[in-house]
Amino acid sequence: MATPQLLEEYFQRCLEIATGIDDPFEQSFFALVHLSYLPLIKHNLCPLSFINVPTQSYAEGLLGVHELHRIELLRDIYL
């Protein structure tokens, strides 16, 4: 993915697949999973792994973003 053309191609493919998904929850989940990795792939970095993060902390971080519109907890886990 070192070239912008490949990244653009991957992005367009993700959009095509997402557009073809009828269920809004499935479409949202697909976008969450795939689009978040594009900036990492663009810079030839490996996708993130949260294996060593406590499950409770990760869950609280996601809930904070999605239910409270607060990024602090997830940001701290990400860092």
Q: Are residues 40 and 68 in the same domain?
A: no
Q: Are residues 37 and 3 in the same domain?
A: yes
Q: Is the pLDDT of residue 2 over 80?
A: no
Q: Could you read off the pLDDT of 21-58 as tens digits, one per residue?
A: 999 999 998 988 888 778 887 778 877 778 888 999 98
CA distances in angstroms from 70 to 19, 42, 62, listed in the order given: 28, 27, 9
For residue 1, name the pLDDT band (cuts at 50, 70, 90): low
Q: Are residues 2 and 21 in the same domain?
A: yes
Is residue 27 within 8 Å of 36, Cβ to Cβ? no
Residue environment code for 3-35, b if the CB has 16+ CB neighbours within 10 A, otherwise e: eeeebeebeeebeeebeeeeeeeeeeebeeebe
Residue 3, domain extent: 1-45
Is residue 64 within 8 Å of 71, Cβ to Cβ? yes
Q: Could you read off the pLDDT of 49-68 as tens digits, one per residue?
A: 788 889 999 899 989 988 99
Count how many domains the chain has: 2
Q: Are residues 24 and 12 in the same domain?
A: yes
pLDDT at 64: 92
Q: Are residues 7 and 37 in the same domain?
A: yes
